[in-house]
Chains A and B, each alone.
Chain A
């Protein structure tokens, strides 16, 4: 399916709405104002999934995932690089924010914090997609893991791995950059349905 600039614009806006909501919640949890930026959206076919890896590398991420099923089905991830994960944990648990951090694995309590933040971000984005596109989905509960991008993509069932939507967002808490990546991985049919819904709304086409 050919994706054009206005499809990307629609998805960007849906992600934007979701991230805005998530930032509002995080702002209350951290007691700090959060500055937002416009998310960057890219879409890859299964054949192009190698490009994602060459583009964003093979570093280990803190990954929060959940499955969704319905008019479109697949898996969604929120990924935080270690540096951003540390800033988030410090900001939420009220630790002193500092630039240098020990290279230690996350404790189960820290993972619990990251899981909740990831849950907030996924809910923002998936919530805005289903709400604006008026699509009913059912979801699994969120889970937490630490892995690199190839492993995360491999985790998704083959038939749900035909299209990858990558949204890269940046939020700033006290001038510290928190980088979050949202991956929505779907089957080709599901992806077409999603784009079709976006077009129905953005091109004055009545559903």
Chain B
């Protein structure tokens, strides 16, 4: 059963993501900021990381930079309310595998997650 690390400062949003993923037989662990998320990524080695962008105490962009620096290769999926193309391009440049917009749509998240988890790993 793949483990997903959800990093989002909003417990409301984490609950929505968790509900959607648990229904699809994923195991979820949570962090409410980027710094804590980074620690958990190193310690728990999840299969996929879902990260929000706007967060206090290390935001999503800093998080992407940090895991790149640390050489962590766990695929990251960005889930944000920011729909600007410039933001998407920046995230993909910083190594994000996939970029999804809030509000979360189950029919988008689940296929994106499965694609990231495919052995080839390409989204």
Cross-interface CB contact of A38 among B56, B83, B101, B103, cutoff 8 Å? B56
Query: Does the CB pair A9–B84 fall under 8 Å?
Result: no
Query: Does the CB pair B54–A24 fall under 8 Å?
Result: no
Query: Does the CB pair A198–B84 fall under 8 Å?
Result: no
B1, CB-defined interface residue at 8 Å: no
A118, CB-defined interface residue at 8 Å: no
Query: Does the CB pair A20–B80 fall under 8 Å?
Result: yes
Query: Does the CB pair A24–B13 fall under 8 Å?
Result: no
B11, CB-defined interface residue at 8 Å: yes
A43-51, A135-143, A199-207: which lies at the interface: A199-207
B15, CB-defined interface residue at 8 Å: yes
Total interface residues in chain A, CB < 8 Å: 28
Contact with A along B1-37 (1 / 0, CB 8 A): 0000000011111011001000000000000000000
B42, CB-defined interface residue at 8 Å: no
Q: A33-B86, A131-B103, A132-B103 are in contact. Are A201 and B12 (CB under 8 A)?
A: yes
Provide the bound-state CA to CA distance between A13 and B10, in Å: 6
Q: A20-B83, A24-B83, A38-B54 are in contact. Are A6 and B103 (CB under 8 A)?
A: no
B102, CB-defined interface residue at 8 Å: yes
Query: Does the CB pair B10–A24 fall under 8 Å?
Result: no
Residues of B within 8 A of A23 (CB): 82-84
Residues of B within 8 A of A13 (CB): 10, 12-13
Cross-interface CB contact of B81 among A19, A37, A131, A201, cutoff 8 Å? A19
Query: Does the CB pair B16–A201 fall under 8 Å?
Result: yes
Cross-interface CB contact of A21 among B9, B55, B83, cutoff 8 Å? B83
- Please tell me the size bucket of the interface on B: 20 to 34
Cross-interface CB contact of A198 among B12, B54, B86, cutoff 8 Å? B12
Residues of A within 8 A of B19 (CB): 204
A12, CB-defined interface residue at 8 Å: yes
A128, CB-defined interface residue at 8 Å: yes
Query: Does the CB pair B86–A27 fall under 8 Å?
Result: yes
Q: In the complex, which residue of chain A has the Cβ closest to the Cβ of B90?
A: A33
Query: Does the CB pair A12–B10 fall under 8 Å?
Result: yes
Cross-interface CB contact of B103 among A12, A34, A128, A204, cutoff 8 Å? A128
Contact with B along A30-43 (1 / 0, CB 8 A): 00011011100000
Query: Does the CB pair A21–B81 fall under 8 Å?
Result: yes
Can you list 16 A-B pairs, Cβ within 8 angstroms, ordered by A? A9-B10, A13-B13, A14-B12, A16-B102, A17-B81, A20-B81, A23-B84, A24-B84, A33-B86, A33-B87, A34-B84, A36-B54, A128-B81, A132-B103, A201-B15, A202-B16
Q: Using a CB–CB distance below 8 Å, which chain A residues touch chain B? A: 6, 9-10, 12-14, 16-21, 23-24, 27, 33-34, 36-38, 128, 131-132, 198, 201-204
Q: A128-B102, A201-B16 are in contact. List 11 more A-B contacts (CB 8 A).
A: A13-B12, A14-B12, A16-B81, A20-B101, A20-B102, A24-B82, A24-B84, A33-B84, A33-B87, A128-B103, A201-B15
